[in-house]
């Protein structure tokens, strides 16, 4: 599969076959401000373990899937995109892995369409209900200041496009390396910045029931102890929102960009979750 479609939008896909006889399919969802390329170190490890990997460039990131305005970037729409992907794969139920915003989409899909999944692995970002509660019971709000900065229309887009060094500095402080920044620059040059920021602008359009909905899929949540954007409290609270087998994996030496910087450890965790879910 090179792409899939939904409601007139076309999404690019990185589809890597399993080595040998396939045991199943793993769908990989990227976060902000990245694309499917963020899985380039994890995917081969899962392929070696006999799993096909399918990593889409999500809404706002794929050049042919960039609707205007913030409403099209509601979580319900983002989840529906992944549902369409799984349906068009015809290979489900699948194992789902999401990092950062991709984790938020993965939580939403697991809570609303558990029949489509065999297992769930979320990386960095906890269940949205746990994330909201962490605002009230920890320093998470201080770490999430940039979310408010991204809310105004146009202004952040223009500033970050005109002064790319500002975003570079923010991402370097979070632990991004030069290769990752090159990918971010490529996304911005392709016109993908506004769509990526619209994910944040649509946050306020989420409905309360979606924040409280529990997950009935075997789940592992992975959090890096050196994450500068997300505190431990949210990772701990995520357990309250899973009614199936749940594991919390804390990587003491990891930061936020786990798929690139801790690929082998993450792949091992994903495979352990898959094995425990049979």
* DSSP letter (8 states) at residue 74: S
Helix (H) or strand (E) holding 10: strand 9-16
H or E stretch at 120: strand 117-123
> Which has the closest alpha carbon to 57: 75, 81, 74, 80?
81
Residues designated catalytic: 100, 200, 256
Q: Which are the contacts of 171, defined by CB distance < 8 A and separation ≥ 6?
A: 33, 180, 181, 184
N-terminal to C-terminal alpha carbon distance within the chain: 26
- What backbone torsions phi and psi does residue 99 show, to the nearest 5 degrees? -120, 140
Residue 106 CA to chain centroid, in angstroms? 7
Count of C-beta atoms within a 10 Å radius of residue 190: 13
Contact 98, 123 (CB under 8 A): yes
Residues 121 and 219: their CA atoms lie apart, in Å, by 6
Q: Report the C-alpha gap between 87 and 80 in whole angstroms.
A: 10
Residues 6+ apart with CB under 8 A from 218: 118, 119, 120, 244, 245, 246, 273, 276, 277
Q: What angle do CA 75, 33, 106 make, to 5 degrees?
A: 35
């Amino acid at each position: 599969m090179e792409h899939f479609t939904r409601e007139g939008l076309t999404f690019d896909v990185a589809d890597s076959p399993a080595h040998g006889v396939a045991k199943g399919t793993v769908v990989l969802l990227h976060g902000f401000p990245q694309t499917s390329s963020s899985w380039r170190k994890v995917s081969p490890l899962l392929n070696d373990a006999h799993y096909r990997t399918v990593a889409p460039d999500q809404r706002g990131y794929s050049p042919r899937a960039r609707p205007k305005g913030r409403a099209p970037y509601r979580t319900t729409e983002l989840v529906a995109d992944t549902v369409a992907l799984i349906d068009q794969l015809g290979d489900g139920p699948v194992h789902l892995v999401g990092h950062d915003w991709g984790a938020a989409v993965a939580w939403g899909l697991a809570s609303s369409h558990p029949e489509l999944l065999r297992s769930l692995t979320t990386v960095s970002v906890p269940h949205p209900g746990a994330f909201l509660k962490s605002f009230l019971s920890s320093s998470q709000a201080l770490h999430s200041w940039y979310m408010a900065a991204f809310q105004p229309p146009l202004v952040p887009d223009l500033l970050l496009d005109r002064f790319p060094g500002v975003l570079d500095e923010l991402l370097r402080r979070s632990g991004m390396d030069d290769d990752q920044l090159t990918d971010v620059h490529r996304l911005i040059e392709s016109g993908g910045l506004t769509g990526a920021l619209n994910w944040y602008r649509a946050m306020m359009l989420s409905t309360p029931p979606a924040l409280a909905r529990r997950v009935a899929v075997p789940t592992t949540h992975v959090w890096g102890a050196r994450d500068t954007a997300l505190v431990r409290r949210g990772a701990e609270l995520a357990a309250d929102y899973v009614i199936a087998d749940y594991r919390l994996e804390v990587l003491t030496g990891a930061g936020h960009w786990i798929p690139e910087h801790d690929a082998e450890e993450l792949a091992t965790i994903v495979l352990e979750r898959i094995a425990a879910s049979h």
